[in-house]
Amino acid sequence: MPVHPAEPPSCNPQRRRLLLRIGALAGGAGALASTACATPAGQPPAAARRIACDDFDALWSGFVAAFVQPDGRVLDPDTEARVSTSEGQAYGLFFALVADDRPRFDALLYWTRQNLCGGDLTARLPAWQWGRQRDGRWGVLDANAASDADLWLAWTLIEAARLWNAPTLATEGRALLARIRAEEVVDVPGLGTMLLPGPQGFVSADRLQWRFNPSYAPLHLLRGLASADPGGPWTVLAEQSARTLPAIAPNGLAPDWATWSVQHSAPLRGRWIADTQQGDTGSYDAIRCYLWAGVAPADDPLRPALLQGLSGIQRHTRTLPLPERFATRAAAGTDPAALTRGTAPPGFIAALQPYLVALGDCTGARLLAERLATVCASPTTRLRYYDHALALFSAGWLQQRWRCDRHGRLQRAPSSSASRCPTP
């Protein structure tokens, strides 16, 4: 039975996409500046209540306080249904592993198992969305799975088993991995082996249009899963991500979604087009593409292609303000003002820092850190759920709290020493 949630925290994080799956650089590296989370209702803002974001430990403590309930549910309170997602649970588990917080990890895993997997993580893929239903009861809102969360969950369980010498976690992780292979990895006409965003809803009835999310398969996860499951498709999927990137992001800007369109002819051929539902917009999903490329293992042979294939974002990091949305397939010569919209939230700025550090663009990385510090200096700035998650990934990597080797094995460090920005 689903666990009835306790009264949610009163932080007001940014609304996460619910349909169609959404300081200063220390020593030339990058530590996030301070920001704030919404204060509890009825309590005045106070400097003492701010969540410092200049190190991973402070961010993790703030994330737990704002979004993780005692029963292990990661809550996004800025939604009418008070939702939790498989993504939020998987991210929480990873952060707990990096923090060496085994009790929190166990609570997060128990809640995920009981509420998203019907009590058995080996029996089904996790439902991606859970919350308050229209009749007021609490439970699964959408039973479809989200493959990015599934990959993060399987990899984190396998790595936790290794680092904590807990073989039962590896058993669950490998069982989940087998389900991902069976239900979310497909052979696409004219394209080859690909990772669907979920088991259902991403292939047209005539099987001529296939929708994909470029941010769903981080390179370090695929390398780790290939190490755990050498006979699986993970190495091929990693190579596909680099091979398809030039066509998916022809201007070096990642879209949130992309569609592979197959011509009904023999032999079957296809081409990448702007997504049939989301168009060519790059925003809340796509921001992770740059983050994942930045944190990819430094000696991975595919890393240079990923960094170069996304280099269109680099010039925009000099823009004030950093845009929230990009038109990623605009023709050459298009007025730059027509290519971007909105102002990026703090999490976007944080997510781009590892990418620029990986490029060796120390000047750009410092500018981002200064910009983040300016944004966070405002007393109205609040670090919302997605911002907080992106900042945790970024700060932890920049401070060398976590790294992955070329085999996708997690390397943790207890110190928070800043990462040095490579010389261009």
Beta strands in 143-297 (DSSP E): 185-188, 192-195, 209-212, 258-263, 269-274, 281-282
List average pLDDT for each run of 10 residues in the chain, which is 424 residues long.
Answer: 34 32 32 30 37 76 94 94 97 98 98 96 96 94 98 98 98 97 96 97 95 98 97 98 96 97 80 96 98 98 98 90 93 72 93 96 91 77 91 94 97 70 46
Annotation marks residue 300 as catalytic:
no
195 in Cβ contact with 216 (< 8 Å)? yes
Catalytic, out of 55, 76, 142, 148:
148
> Which residues face 212 on adjacent strands?
258
Beta strands in 248-342 (DSSP E): 258-263, 269-274, 281-282, 325-327, 340-341
Tell me the DSSP string of 132-164.
E-TTS-EEEEE----HHHHHHHHHHHHHHHHHH
How large is the angle between the packed helices 385-398 and 346-359, nearest 10 degrees?
30
Question: In the prediction, which pLDDT does 195 show?
Answer: 98
C-alpha–C-alpha distance, residues 216 and 266, integer Å: 31
Cα pseudo-dihedral 160, 286, 181, 170, rounded to 10? 0
Contact 364, 317 (CB under 8 A): yes
Pick the catalytic residue from 54, 87, 229, 361: 87
Main-chain dihedrals φ then ψ at residue 181, nearest 5 degrees: -60, -45
Side-chain-side CA neighbours of 415 within 13 Å: the count stands at 4
Examine the residue annotation and report whether 275 is marked as an active-site residue of this protein: no
